Amino acid sequence: MSFIDDDRPQKKTAHEVGADLSMLSVDELKARVELLKAEIARLEAEAARKASGRQAAESFFRT
């Protein structure tokens, strides 16, 4: 078992809004863009799911 990698700092994979981007490589920036696109898609899907549930409830109680 090797302990060499245990001392290395772990790269942060999440993106923090407003974080300094000057020290990131092009590949790291692209990875963050993809991460954020996936998160936007997840948020939009959840918003759509909740909106359809609300519409169903409103139409049920109108009748």
CA nearest to 21, candidates 8, 32, 9: 32
Where does 1-63 have alpha helices with state H?
26-62
Q: Which residues contact 32 (CB under 8 A, 6 or more apart)?
A: 15, 24
Distance (Å) of CA 11 to CA 35, 37, 59: 15, 20, 49
Q: Which residues contact 13 (CB under 8 A, 6 or more apart)?
A: 31, 35
- pTM to 2 decimal places: 0.63
Residues 6-47 have pLDDT tens digits of 676 766 668 888 999 999 999 999 999 999 999 999 999 999
Task: Say if residue 2's pLDDT is above 60.
Answer: no
Q: What per-residue confidence (pLDDT) applies to 62? A: 76
